[in-house]
Amino acid sequence: MRAPDMDAGVTAGDVLLAVENVSLRFGGVKAITDVSFDIRKGEIRAIIGPNGAGKTSMLNVINGFYHPQDGRITFKGRTRSKMRPYVAASQGIARTFQNVALFKGMTTLDNIMAGRTLKMRRGFFWQMLRHGPAMAEEIEHRKVVEEIIDFLEIEAIRKVPVGRLPYGLQKRVELGRALAMEPELLLLDEPMAGMNLEEKEDMCRFILDVNSQFGTTIALIEHDMGVVMDLSDRVVVLEYGRKIADGVPDEVKSNQAVIDAYLGVPH
């Protein structure tokens, strides 16, 4: 797997994605209210907050699944009032889901191969023949996918339909599918939820390796504070759809508003 090409304008440490004054409402429910933060190239950025704080909604805004009523999103120097899923995907944003969203009827291999769809160019004619250029392309991408499979240590389940896999492995396959897109920005929605200690440690290792080996920028939602403090470079804290803190883990940990939010001080 190659590290994604460094975009001309964005080098490590620069702002890769900026969210400014974003507000999102569902009817009367205010999921996100006037939130601004940025994600720098190469960092691991944690988004934390109590249940219903708007974390998942924020990821959905970033990759264009939800369209905010107000605010701007700047990705790789281009400012938009809303993202579109196709644009987000083709510009290099990949994600995993809070409740695994794999293609249940397909094998591990096909799931991860599906992550290569945007990179495959051969049109309908060659696909009908599945020979010549179409086969060459298929093999080329299969090689990349096999590297991902090795990296995630899931060789044994290559040909298993993912619906039959245990939850922990499904989460791993889903990470593999996102990695197959060779994203510049990887959004992980609670990648360790529901895992046992050993699985969590594996997943932490994979996340750190992805970040360091491929230089992938990662935004991570996680409830386990130990994990957040260990993994992330900077943390943004949401509560009831508002940003209440933003900074390095130590700052955030000692922030009074964050402590109150987590201990449940009445408002």
Ligand X SMILES: Nc1ncnc2c1ncn2[C@@H]1O[C@H](COP(=O)(O)OP(=O)(O)OP(=O)(O)O)[C@@H](O)[C@H]1O
State which residue, 154 or 237, has the beta carbon closest to ligand X. 237
Classify residue 124 by burial, with Cβ atoms within 10 Å: 0-12, 13-18, 19+: exposed
Which one-letter DSSP state was computed for residue 81?
A: S
Which residue has 């090409």 as its token pair? 5
Cβ distance to other proteins smaller for residue 139 or 197:
139
Nearest to 189 by CA among 205, 201, 207: 207
8 Å CB contact between 89 and 101: no
Footprint on this chain of ligand X (rule: CB under 6 A): 26, 29, 31, 49, 51-57, 98
User: Which of ligand X, other proteins, Mg ion, none interacts with 89 (beta carbon under 5 to 8 A by kind)?
Assistant: other proteins
With 0-12 / 13-18 / 19 or more C-beta atoms within 10 angstroms meaning exposed / middle / buried, residue 255 is: middle
How far apart are CB 116 and other proteins at their closest, in Å? 8
- Name which of 98 and 255 has its Cβ closer to ligand X: 98
> Is 96 among the residues that bind Mg ion (CB under 5 A)?
no
Return the number of the residue (66 or 214) whose C-beta is nearest ligand X: 66
Site string for Mg ion, 52-81 (x = CB under 5 A): ----x-------------------------
Determine if 259 is a binding residue for other proteins (CB under 8 A).
Answer: no
Question: Length of the chain, please?
Answer: 267
8 binds, among other proteins, ligand X, Mg ion, none (CB under 5 to 8 A by kind): none
- Alpha carbon distance 189, 249 (integer Å): 19
Among 5, 27, 28, 139, binds other proteins (CB under 8 A): 139
Applying CB under 8 A, does 113 fall inside the site for other proteins?
Answer: yes
Query: Read out DSSP for 88-106?
Result: HHHHTEEEE-SS----TTS
117 touches other proteins (CB under 8 A): yes
Give the separation between CA 158 and CA 151, rounded to whole angstroms: 13
